[in-house]
Structures are given as C-alpha cells and as structure tokens.
Amino acid sequence: MSAFDALMEHQSTTEALSSIAERLGWDQETVMPRGATEQRADEMAAIEAVLHERRADPRVGEWLDLAAGEAEDDEDRRMLELIGRDYRRATRIPARLAAELARATSLAQGIWAEARGNDDVGAFLPSLAEILMLKREEAGHLADSSAGAGALYDALLDDYEPGARADDISRLFDAMRPRLVRLRDDVMGAARQPETLRGHFPQETQLRLARQCATAFGYDWSRGRLDMAVHPFSSGRWQDSRITTRVVETDPFNCLYSTMHEVGHSSYELGIDSDYAFTILGRGVSLGVHESQSRIYENQIGRSRAFTGWLFERMSDAFNGLSVADADAFYGAVNRVSPGYIRTEADEVQYNLHVMMRFDLERDLIAGKIEPEHLEEAWNARFLADFGVAVNKPSNGVLQDVHWAVGLFGYFPTYALGNVYAGCLHQAMRAALPDLDTALSEGDASPAVEWLREQVQRHGALLPARELIEAASGMEVGPEPLLAYLEEKFGGIYGL
Amino acid sequence: MSAFDALMEHQSTTEALSSIAERLGWDQETVMPRGATEQRADEMAAIEAVLHERRADPRVGEWLDLAAGEAEDDEDRRMLELIGRDYRRATRIPARLAAELARATSLAQGIWAEARGNDDVGAFLPSLAEILMLKREEAGHLADSSAGAGALYDALLDDYEPGARADDISRLFDAMRPRLVRLRDDVMGAARQPETLRGHFPQETQLRLARQCATAFGYDWSRGRLDMAVHPFSSGRWQDSRITTRVVETDPFNCLYSTMHEVGHSSYELGIDSDYAFTILGRGVSLGVHESQSRIYENQIGRSRAFTGWLFERMSDAFNGLSVADADAFYGAVNRVSPGYIRTEADEVQYNLHVMMRFDLERDLIAGKIEPEHLEEAWNARFLADFGVAVNKPSNGVLQDVHWAVGLFGYFPTYALGNVYAGCLHQAMRAALPDLDTALSEGDASPAVEWLREQVQRHGALLPARELIEAASGMEVGPEPLLAYLEEKFGGIYGL
C-alpha cells in the first residue's frame, strides 16, 4: 500500500471517530439522562484522547513526508495539507492537555446550564477559570513564539477560521461598526416603527411550522431530525446531520428562525459531495463559511419580504389569525429592531455589535487583561456602552452563551465573518437568480439552496474559506455588500 | 507506573470506547435518521476496529505477564483474568474480520427490519449467509482445534456465557423439556381457563403506566430514559442505562412486561458498585445472569399475584375499568397460557420451549447441518412439532428475532439459563423476605430489588456466573426451583 493510501485509511477511521464524538455531543445536549454528566465527561475525554493520539501518530508524520510525491490532483494535495495541519496542531498539544480540556468542558457545560438557570455567575467562575487556563496553555503550545502579543488569540482563532488573524478582523469590524451604529440609531429614531407580533403560540404548532420551514429549505428528513435544546445547534455530517431548536410560546420567531439557521448549517454538511465522506474534505471549511450558510438561510432568504409573505399565510392558518394585519406588517414584525439582551435573538442590524463585543472581551481574557471574576463587570459596562441598556440579570448577560463553557475562544468573530461572507454570496446569488423572489413567495427556497450547494456546499473543505467565497461570489471579500443590503432593507422597512 | 496500573489505564479508555459504541447502538435503534444506515455501519466498524486493536495491543500481553505478580487482592486478580480473556479472544480474531462483522451486522439490522416488515425471508437470506460465514470463521479462530464437533458453537457461546458448554446445556434442557411439555399440556387441557384482557389501550396511557411500573421497581430516571424500539432492549451502564419498549394498543401487557424486563437488565448495570465504573468488573458477568435479573423482575415479581393486584388497580384507573372483573381474573389474564408465535410475548410455561428450539437450530446452522435457504423450512417444521401450530408468516416465525441479523449466535440459550438462575434466586429471596408480597401488593418492589442488588448486581463481573448465583442463592444451580415454581404457580391458576 502506498504511503498516501495508508494515510487515507488511517484518516478514514479518525473521521469516523470524530463523527461519533460529535454524535455523543448531540446526545448529551438533547436526550442524555442528567445523572450521566460525569460519565459522559470521562467518555468524551477518552475518545478525544484517542483522536488526539491518532492525529499525532508518528506514522502520520512519516506518511505525510512520503505521500507528498504521490498526490495526483488538487484534492489529494489539499487532503495532505489539511491532515498536515491537524498533525502539527496535535503534535504541539500534549495528550494530557487534550484530555483535560475535553473533560473540563464536558463538565462545565452542565455547570454553565445550571448557573444560567439560577442566574448565578459565581457558580460558573471556577469552571471558566479552569477552561481559560487550559485554553491559554493550548494557545501557548500552538502559537508561533516569535509572534507578537496577539499570538495566543490568533492561535485559537486559527482553529475555527484557518488563516484568519485577529488584527485583520479588528480592522474589518472597525470599518463596519460606525455604519451599523448609525443604521441602528436611524432605525430606532424612525417615525415609522413596525408592530410586534403578539399572542400565545403553542409549542406543538410552532414545531410543526418549524418542520414546514425546514422542508421549504429542502432539509432532508431522511438524513436528519429536529429536537429541542437549550441552545440550538446542528450536529453531524454526510448522512446524518441533526438540528435542534427551542420554543418560547410568546415569540414564535425564536423557534422558526433558529430552525432555519440550523438548517443552513446542516444543509452545508449534507450538501458536501458524498465522495468526500470519511475524508478530511468532508467537512465545512471554516466556521465563517458555515455561518455564511446558516445566516443566508435565516436572514437574506428567511427574513426576505418574499419568503415572509409565504410564512405569514402559513402562520395565520396555523394560529387562526395573527395580531398583525397583513404580510407587510408581518415582514416588519419579523425584522423589527428593538433593544434586547440576547445575541441569538438579535436582529440583523445589532447582531454584529453583539459579536464584536464578545470578540473584544475574549481577546482580553486570553491576553490576561480581564480576570474571570471581573468578566461580568466588563460585560455589563460594555453592553451599556454599545447598546444603551443595563444588563438586568446574568442569564441575559455574561451567562447567555455556552461558548466559553465549552472552550470556544476565538469562535465568536466567525459569526460576523459569516455575515460578511453571506453578504457577498447574497449579492452574487441575486444577480444569478433574478426570479428568486417568485419561488420564495411560494415557500420554495430550492433555487437558492441549489445555487449555494453548487457554488459553496458541495466543495466541502476543498478550497480555503476566502478563496471559496471569492470563487462563489466573483468578488473580493469585504463588508460593503452586507452593509448595503442592510441599509437598503432596513431603510425600506423604516422609511429612512 | 507499574505494569498493573498501565494496564488499568489502558483498559479504562477501552471501557469508555465500548460504552460509547453501545450508546451508538442505542441511537441507531431509537432516534437515528433512516438514511444514515450506511454511514453508521462504517462508524461502528471503525470504533470496533479501534476496540479490537486496543484489546489485542501487544503491550496488553506484556502488561499481563508483568502484572500477575502485582495483583493485591481478588478484584485485581479477577480483572487480570478478564482482561486476559479478552486479549486472547482479540488476538485470535483478525482485525479485518472484526471490522467486517461490525459492518455486516450493522447493515443487516436494517435489512432484517425491512424483511420482517415485508414478510420477505428472501431479502434477508444474503445477509444471514454472510454473517453465518463470518461467525463460523470467527469461531474457527477461537475454538480449540483439538476439541470435538461442537467446538465451533461452544466458542461462540463462551462469548455470552463464559465457561458454559453446549453439551451441558443440552442435558439441562433435556431434563426440563418433558416437565414443561407436560405442564403445558395440562394447562391447555384444563377445564378452568383464565379470561383474556380485551379492549383498546391508547399508547400514551400505556407508556405512562410503563413508567409507573419502572418506578415501582426503583428504576433511576436520573440515570436512564424510556424510548420506543421495534425490539425492546436496554443499553448502557454505570450512570446511563436506558430502556426501550414497544406498544400494541390491543395488548398492554406487551408494553408493560417488556418494560419490567428491560428495567431488570438496566438495574443490574446501574446497581454495579460505582467503584467498578470504567473497569472490566463494571459489567454484568454473563448474559445468563443478566437474563436472571430481567426475568425475575418481569416474571417472579412482575407477574406475581401480589404485584398484579397493585397493577390491576392502576390499570383499572388508567383505562376507566377493564374487561376482567377482579384482581384474581386479572392475575389469570396476565399469566394466561395460549398458543402464540412470538418468543418475547410467550408465557412462562412456553418461553423456554422457544429458546430450546432456537438453540438447536443455531447449533445446526453453525455446524453446517442447515443451510440458510432451508432455515425457514426447518423453523416451521420444528415449530409445528413443538407448539402444535403452523407458522403463518415469517414475521411470526424465522424473522421474529433480531439476534441472528446482528451475529448473536450462541446467545439464545442464555435466556433459558437466565430462567434457571432466576428460579434459584427467587427461591432464596422468598426465604429471606417472607413479607415480600405485602410490599409488592402496594406496588413497592424495593425489598426484592435491594436483595438482588446486594446479592447479585453490585458484584458486577467479580465472580463467575455460576459461582455468583450459587453464592447468592445458597444452592447448586439446577432446574428444580424453576420447575417447582412454574408447576405450583400454574397449577394454582389452572386448578390442576
């Protein structure tokens, strides 16, 4: 067997174990008995340790050296590049640290959920401090020692958005922030304000509508399912990518748009060329690209005037009438910009401001400029400054997101990057599909889904993120398409 | 680190992966999207290959040699014995064969379910032939080449009931069969016949009652859950052992007694000393002992006059009255002996006759005396001879059980062994707990559960099966207690 083939066979089992670990994570957040927390933490630690051993296996290093001359095409070369990347990361991180991180984050997830339920920041602080210490240690192993002060954070960011650098992202965010703040001010001060959708919306009906929306986006139910979770997520790849949602009976948009968002993530994984299953190409290439799919499904398509026209009819039928008079008012209610604490419930105008705030806070945590015990204070101060509102309780503030509890430092900025990518893709997609709104107004998102599958999803990890988005959209990645889309859309709704 | 400690650390990860593989199996049979079958087969093959590599790791052989002198007590020695046993089995089975078996059985499970649904034996035959070929190859690697004609089957049996031999089981079954046949004839010919419970019993109410029954048996809901499955099973250990059931809306006993049965299995795993978690002692010692727990929960306790008295009241309330007049008639209906095709629905009198038939058929399959294409014919002929009824369709005959589809040859006889063990345990338990019926009549099985936990469950795999049952019951294992219990119980119900 050639070194290349031996390496691919080894990688295939690694991919299978990685898929299994992801499935265990789904189990933990949806169906696992609550008394199994410690055992599951040990199980996750064990499988992560085995994965780490496999990625750092000295034979992988040898195979990589030998296989370089055996690669026959771009796919082969890209697989070697990505396996080499994982190998370098894995050999730099001690197995002991990987296992400790897996165990600590598995345990912290339950502690975070309870702390959030009790609005008790103190109960979560020891976990946060431990995870932060472990992540800084990890970053220290990964970072280029000759790099500057931001090297630790960049090393973590690279795990989610390969090749990205925090300084570049800072510049991008700095360019976006003034126009977003201005748009928000204009919108908040506008004379014309959309109505809110009011009423009581039973859980079962919401879930039925959520399924209809997922179907409208072509979600393949034979390869997925919908469950409830505290913090909605999608999980899995290839033949099995599941989505989750949550229900607030006074606000059906929470459930419906969470669902469309997760359908975007799952569709990316399900849309990857099936030849890439059990290879390192069989995954979304970066979290930014992943988020571009979830956000374009949720926002540019799901919150469009055309699609909401269809949704208005479905919801009017399902709930025997709505508090808003017509499809235009409904479109306003869907896109209403109002003060709010929760990132995942934020409108398109303010969402990126949430992300920018977390990005700055977590950079400071990693740099040691904020200690965990001062994080709540720093959060609340920044929130007041950026959003003009005082946080009323930790579950609406520093405890709202699971990310830090599960060690996801460097993850938040990919949300805003995803929006920027989605802006580029949406502009190109509209140019390619001039009649898209006709289909959307009939609850049929398939032209958009097919365009995205063809241009983005099927490629898996074949092309680097920025290259993929530029090839798909035919433009250089930048904030302008997103900002122009937002200004036009909200200018229209608010009569600016 | 000592060789002993190094071995235990290695084993701990192996146990974690094994627990994960079991959880994946649960996922596949309860919640997995149907389109994920092939992917899951590859995932199962991958994790089984990794487990096989770990069990057959040459370092395990070295550690075992070195650790023999380091064992400090009976627990240590038993752990080395069991790990050595797994090591010998694993080193004899090629990794290629283990992976092929995992993949073939994972795929065959879906094919079996579809064939069963369509009553299409032909659709299942290619899978059966492949699995049979692989299992015979496995047995060939495991069997002592100097042993006689039954060596292949004994090698498979040993995986489920360590130390048992088919010839001994044959003798045991031969001793039981005439008395069971006579009892069945007497019962079927008796002038007094119990009524059947008739009516329509909605699924939701059945599931609510199933939960009440599980609670009456002390099932720990914080470490388990109840789901639906085609063929009920229990899955998992330590902090997470889940049960499944099925619902037939004309026959609530199917759901309720499946549930009690699986609660017995799960309680065994949950009842093991928590110090044994992630060690090789942290498991049921044999399938026969496992089945002794499920059967004593289901039958000797669950179908007792005392417990059914409580259940009669609960069911009368839940279904607004029943077709049977009183608790005595209900007790008769629960224990009614009638012709039937399905093993899992069989009464206590006929159940072992089902098992004995499968035992003989699968020995003939392994010995090559029956080819897969003649299995249905052989099944139907034997069923007619043993039960006096012609099989009317394959789903009531050769396709009714999942076992052969998932490679479980040598598994069936452990069901009847479990009944024999349960007979011994029940006799000893009744002597130790003279007031047990008082608690059972109030829906409280805790005295029985506590006795079983103390005498059997907490020990995990510390003692070999027969030794454990003999220590717990204070008697030599034999069929007499079971047969005497059956003759007394059914003699009473049928006025013999």
B52: chain A residues, CB-CB within 8 Å: none
Among the partner-chain residues B16, B45, B224, the one whose CB lies closest to the CB of A43 is B16
Among the partner-chain residues A222, A238, A242, the one whose CB lies closest to the CB of B34 is A222
Other CB atoms within a 10 A radius of the CB of residue A207 amount to 18
Run of H or E residues at B141: helix B121-142
- B200 CB near a chain A CB, below 8 Å? no
Choose, out of A10, A29, A42, the residue to mutate when testing the contact with B (most B CBs < 10 Å). A42
E-assigned strand segments in B355-405: none
Residue in chain B lying closest to A15 (CA)? B43
Q: Are B16 and B220 in contact (CB under 8 A)?
A: no
Quote the CA–CA distance of A181 and B373 in Å, as a whole number.
Answer: 75
pLDDT in tens, A290-308: 999 999 999 999 999 999 9
pLDDT at position B345: 85
Question: Any idea what DSSP says for residue B191?
Answer: S
Backbone angles phi, psi at B228, to 5 degrees: -95, 145
Residue in chain B lying closest to A11 (CA)? B46
Q: Which of A406, A413, A412 has the alpha carbon at shortest distance from A130?
A: A406
Are B36 and A242 in contact (CB < 8 Å)? no
Residue in chain B lying closest to A16 (CA)? B43
Please, what's the b/e burial string for B465-475 (b: 16 or more CB within 10 A of its CB; e: otherwise)?
bbebbbebbee
Quote the CA–CA distance of A42 and A106 in Å, as a whole number.
Answer: 9
Are B224 and A31 in contact (CB < 8 Å)? no
Quote the CA–CA distance of A224 and A151 in Å, as a whole number.
Answer: 39
Distance (Å) of CA A328 to CA A114, A217, A334, B38, B131: 41, 22, 10, 46, 62
Residue in chain B lying closest to A21 (CA)? B20
A228: chain B residues, CB-CB within 8 Å: none
Instruction: Say how far residue A445 (Cα) sits from the centre of its chain.
Output: 21
Quote the CA–CA distance of B262 and B252 in Å, as a whole number.
Answer: 16
Quote the CA–CA distance of B359 and B417 in Å, as a whole number.
Answer: 12
pLDDT at position B146: 65
Among the partner-chain residues B19, B35, B46, the one whose CB lies closest to the CB of A16 is B46
Active-site pick, B15, B29, B48, B262: B262
Q: Degrees (nearest 5) of the Cα angle A291, A297, A299? A: 90
Among the residues of B368-435, which ranges form H helices? 375-387, 413-432
Q: Are B233 and B266 in contact (CB under 8 A)?
A: no
- A204 CB near a chain B CB, below 8 Å? no
Other CB atoms within a 10 A radius of the CB of residue A129 amount to 14
- Using DSSP's 3-state secondary structure scheme, residue B285 falls into coil
pLDDT at position B467: 97
CB pairs under 8 A between A and B: 102
Among the partner-chain residues A19, A49, A224, the one whose CB lies closest to the CB of B33 is A224
Q: What is the mean pLDDT of chain A?
A: 95
Q: Is the dihedral of CA A130, A136, A139, A140 positive or negative?
A: negative
Are B222 and A50 in contact (CB < 8 Å)? no
Quote the CA–CA distance of B271 and B277 in Å, as a whole number.
Answer: 11
Quote the CA–CA distance of A495 and B11 in Å, as a whole number.
Answer: 68
User: Residue A147: pLDDT above 80?
Assistant: no
Which residues sit opposite A236 in a β-bridge? A241
Instruction: Judge if ipTM > 0.95.
Output: no
Quote the CA–CA distance of A460 and A52 in Å, as a whole number.
Answer: 23
E-assigned strand segments in A70-181: none
- B1 CB near a chain A CB, below 8 Å? no
Quote the CA–CA distance of A227 and A207 in Å, as a whole number.
Answer: 9
B45: chain A residues, CB-CB within 8 Å: 16
Please, what's the b/e burial string for A252-283 (b: 16 or more CB within 10 A of its CB; e: otherwise)?
bbbbbbbbbbbbbbbbbbbbbbeebbbbbbbb
Q: What percent of chain A has pLDDT over 90?
A: 92
**Residue A345 pLDDT class (50, 70, 90 cuts):** confident
End-to-end CA separation in angstroms for chain B: 67
- B19 CB near a chain A CB, below 8 Å? yes
The two tokens of residue A475 are 């433009």
Which amino acid is present at A152? L
Among the partner-chain residues B13, B17, B39, the one whose CB lies closest to the CB of A277 is B39
- Using DSSP's 3-state secondary structure scheme, residue B139 falls into helix
Q: Are B67 and B3 in contact (CB under 8 A)?
A: yes
Q: Is the dihedral of CA A414, A419, A420, A425 positive or negative?
A: positive
- A239 CB near a chain B CB, below 8 Å? yes
Residue in chain B lying closest to A31 (CA)? B225
Are B43 and A16 in contact (CB < 8 Å)? yes
Choose, out of B1, B10, B42, the residue to mutate when testing the contact with A (most A CBs < 10 Å). B42
pLDDT at position A326: 97
Q: Which of B381, B382, B360, B361 has the alpha carbon at shortest distance from B371?
A: B361
Other CB atoms within a 10 A radius of the CB of residue A133 amount to 13
Q: Is the dihedral of CA B80, B81, B83, B87 positive or negative?
A: positive
Are B20 and A221 in contact (CB < 8 Å)? no
B48: chain A residues, CB-CB within 8 Å: none
pLDDT at position B12: 98
Distance (Å) of CA A179 to CA A182, A338, B431: 5, 17, 83
A221: chain B residues, CB-CB within 8 Å: 33
Tokens 């063929």 correspond to B231
Quote the CA–CA distance of B463 and A4 in Å, as a whole number.
Answer: 48
- B13 CB near a chain A CB, below 8 Å? yes
Distance (Å) of CA B169 to CA A19, B149, B166, B274, B416: 42, 15, 5, 33, 9
User: Residue A150: pLDDT above 90?
Assistant: no
**Residue A165 pLDDT class (50, 70, 90 cuts):** very high
Question: Any idea what DSSP says for residue A340?
Answer: -
Are B50 and A13 in contact (CB < 8 Å)? yes
Mean pLDDT across A14-19: 98
Calculate how close chain A gets to B364, using CA atoms only, in Å: 37
The two tokens of residue B119 are 């009553």
Task: Spell out the per-residue pLDDT of chain B, length 496, in tens.
Answer: 999 999 999 999 999 999 999 999 999 999 999 999 999 999 998 998 899 999 999 999 999 999 999 999 999 999 999 999 999 999 998 878 988 998 899 899 889 999 999 999 999 999 999 999 999 999 999 997 666 768 999 999 999 999 899 999 999 999 999 999 899 999 999 999 999 999 999 999 999 999 999 999 999 999 999 999 988 999 999 999 999 999 999 999 999 999 999 999 999 999 999 999 999 999 999 999 999 999 999 999 999 999 999 999 999 999 999 999 999 999 999 999 998 999 988 999 999 999 999 999 999 999 999 999 999 999 999 999 888 889 999 999 999 999 999 999 999 999 999 999 999 999 999 999 999 999 999 999 999 999 999 999 999 999 999 999 999 999 999 999 999 999 999 999 999 9
- A20 CB near a chain B CB, below 8 Å? yes
Quote the CA–CA distance of B302 and B381 in Å, as a whole number.
Answer: 33
Calculate how close chain A gets to B45, using CA atoms only, in Å: 9
pLDDT at position B98: 82
pLDDT at position A144: 75
Mean pLDDT across A405-427: 97
User: The whole model's pTM is what?
Assistant: 0.91
Residues of A designated as active site: 262
- Using DSSP's 3-state secondary structure scheme, residue A237 falls into strand
Distance (Å) of CA B51 to CA A50, B99, B438, B461: 11, 10, 48, 20
Residue in chain A lying closest to B44 (CA)? A16
The two tokens of residue A274 are 């099936």
Calculate how close chain A gets to B321, using CA atoms only, in Å: 31
Other CB atoms within a 10 A radius of the CB of residue B439 amount to 18
Alpha-carbon radius of gyration of chain A = 22
Among the partner-chain residues A17, A27, A40, the one whose CB lies closest to the CB of B47 is A17
pLDDT in tens, A23-78: 999 999 999 999 999 999 999 989 988 999 999 999 999 999 999 999 999 999 99
Quote the CA–CA distance of B281 and B272 in Å, as a whole number.
Answer: 9
Mean pLDDT across A219-238: 96
- A228 CB near a chain B CB, below 8 Å? no
- Using DSSP's 3-state secondary structure scheme, residue B231 falls into coil
Calculate how close chain B gets to A239, using CA atoms only, in Å: 5
Among the partner-chain residues B31, B49, B239, the one whose CB lies closest to the CB of A36 is B239
Torsion of CA A135, A140, A144, A146, to 10 degrees: 140
